[in-house]
Each structure stands twice: as structure tokens, then as C-alpha cells.
Amino acid sequence: MARAGMDQGFDALAEDRIDEQTCVLVIDDDEDVRDVLTAWVEADGCHPVAVAGADEALAVAATQGVSVALCDVQMPGHDGFWFLDQVRAHHPDMAVVLLTGVHDVDWALRGLQQGVVDYLLKPFDQRSLSRALENGMRQHRLRRADRLLREQRAAELGARHARLIEALTRLQIETTAQVEAALDLVAFRNDVWREHSHRVRQFAVALASTMRVPASQVELLGQAALLHELGRLVLPDGLLNKTGELTAEERALWRRVPDLGASILEALPALRPAAGIIRSRFEEYAGGGYPRQLASDEIPMTSRVLAVVDSYDAMRSPRPFRDSLTHEQAISELVRASGTQFDPDVVRTFTRLPGLAAV
């Protein structure tokens, strides 16, 4: 099924020419203009549907697939910009070409900022309309392909998420020793991740104990530290192995890792208490973190501890895009971000842990 979705996405990009099945909305309150545009659209091999207003156009779009809409800006009732807002919200695959008899630069800029694919100033000729239709169809195919690929990716993430929950549920995890065994299972052939998780647990337990965190919370923190990267396993393999610059969508996926990991633990009764620790790992002390933009004492102390020790070990470990930092450099970065990204008390206590530089 996922393969079929991908094939449809590629098929949508296969050709840029207009095909005879293309449905084009012609929206103009002037009947004579509608008649001319309808004839030109038919001459380009498309199926035109002519309406007098934006509300009627949306009713048509709700019942049949529309690839491109040719929409007048100034109309009684709702104007072309209102129609454009509705299309963006409810029919994101549809490409919109705005038509106007008024030469207004602000209108043109507003339309382009809202995703209009072309902007035609009346009177225009048939050749100009044909070019606008071609641009509209190309944009429609790109949007459709992008949507299908995003839906396929979402389906794959959902399937991976479900498989992880099923596998961990079968293990019937109840103790920290069993959490360690689970880590060995899910980190199969990933020694870097396994070793990082064990070091983070070692640091986290030592730091939390020094800060007099209750023993029961220290135990939960140790479990959370071992599994704090669990959400990574839900991400696509290509993203996990990517060394180049990330796209905005890829960065958004990475930001979902703590929530994905926490949601897996929430499905396991014995590990549910550790879920909140992982979910708040990327909250920032001064606010502005994710996923809930918590700040200061709103962030669980265990999560504040995990944030510091995880960041330290990540900086001390080499990455495909950079060398590892020295102990002094990593500590300097923690101190620099103290009070903004990290809890100052946690950073201060961590820097004083005995034997830290030797680990």
C-alpha cells in the first residue's frame, strides 16, 4: 500500500502537460467573461466548470476534484482572496490563478504570498491563459505528489510505532535490568547508540543522586536515560543516516523524537512513569523548547538532569558532521547555555561531579 502511494506521487510528477481529465474552475461574476474563459479552457483540452462566485466554487470543489481555479479578485460577497484562504485550508492540492482588472501591486504581492501560482491582469489573451493553466497544472501535480509522499511517510511512521510497542509489550518489562535488555534488542547493531545511552544513564543517576532527587525518581530517570533515544527508531532510515543539511520537514520529524519515544513508553504500564521524563527532554529552562514550551520549574527536575547529561555526552561523541568536543569545550558550552537552555543549578552541580573528565 505504501509502495502504491509512492508510485502515485511519482506519477503525479511524470508530465507537466494539461490532460483532458483536468477540471478547471472558472469563477467570475461577469457572465461574458465566464463564457470567454470557458471557451479558452476547453480549447486547452480541459473540463471547465463555470460559476459566478466563491461560495458556489467551493461547493463544486467539495464534490469533484479540481486541479486549477481561475478566480476573479473583485466579486460580490466573498472576494478572490477569501476563496484563496478557503482553498489553502480545505483543498491544498488546488492551484489558484487570480484574475483582476485593477493594476494593484499590493494585491499581486498579497496573492503571491498566499500561494497564487499566477496573476493575470485583464484584458489578457488566450496564450497568457494557456501559460497560466500550464503553471497551475504543474503546481497541482507537485502539491499532490508532496501530499501523497507525506501521507506515505506518516503511514510508515505509524507502522513502525505500532511494531515497537508490540515488540516491547511482549517483553513484559518491569525492572531496570529488563530495560537494559530491551535496549540491547532495539539497538541491535547500533553500538554507538547503546553505549551513549548507558553513559547518559551513568551520568544522570550520579547527578540526580548528588542533587538529592528521591530514590524512586532516580530509578525512573535511569530507565528514561536508557530509552531516551527510542523515538529515533520510528524515523525513516534515510533520515537517521543523513549527513547533509536537513530540510524543514526533516527537522520537524527530528523534533518529534521525544514525543514518539514517550508515547511508546506510555503504552507499557511499567514504563509509563518514565515517559514524561523523555517527553520534556528538549524543553528549555528559559522557555522556547519543545514540545510544550515549558520553562523553569514547569520542567520536571529529572528532565532537566537528562537534558544536561545527554547534551554533554552528545558533544563528547563524534558525529558524521563534526569531531567530538573535549571535556573542557563541552563544559564551556553547557555553562554558556546555563540559564537559557539548561537549569543553572543542574549545570553547576554537573560540572563538579568527581571523575567526570575521565569518563
**Integer-rounded Cα radius of gyration of the chain:** 28
**Separation CA 168–CA 49 (nearest Å):** 54
Q: What is the pLDDT of residues 170-197, one digit of tens each?
A: 888 878 888 888 887 777 567 788 899 9
**Is the pTM here over 0.85, yes or no?**
no
Q: What is the pLDDT of residues 70-106, one digit of tens each?
A: 999 888 999 888 998 999 899 999 999 988 877 666 6
- pLDDT tens, the chain, 359 aa long: 334 443 444 344 344 444 446 899 999 999 999 999 999 999 999 999 999 999 999 999 999 889 999 999 888 999 888 998 999 899 999 999 988 877 666 666 666 666 788 888 888 999 999 999 999 999 999 999 988 988 888 888 889 899 888 888 888 887 888 888 888 777 756 778 889 999 999 999 999 999 999 999 999 999 999 999 888 888 887 777 777 788 888 888 888 889 999 999 999 888 899 999 999 999 999 998 999 999 999 999 999 999 999 999 999 987 766 788 999 999 999 999 999 999 999 999 999 998 776 56
Q: Which long-range contacts (CB under 8 A, 24 or more apart) does 141-147 make?
A: 141/12, 141/13, 141/15, 141/16, 142/12, 142/13, 143/92, 143/93, 143/94, 143/95, 144/9, 144/12, 144/93, 145/9, 145/10, 145/12, 145/13, 146/9, 147/92, 147/93
Q: Grid coordinates representing 333?
A: 558550552
Q: Domains for the chain: give ranges and CATH numbers.
A: 2-146 (3.40.50.2300), 172-358 (1.10.3210.10)
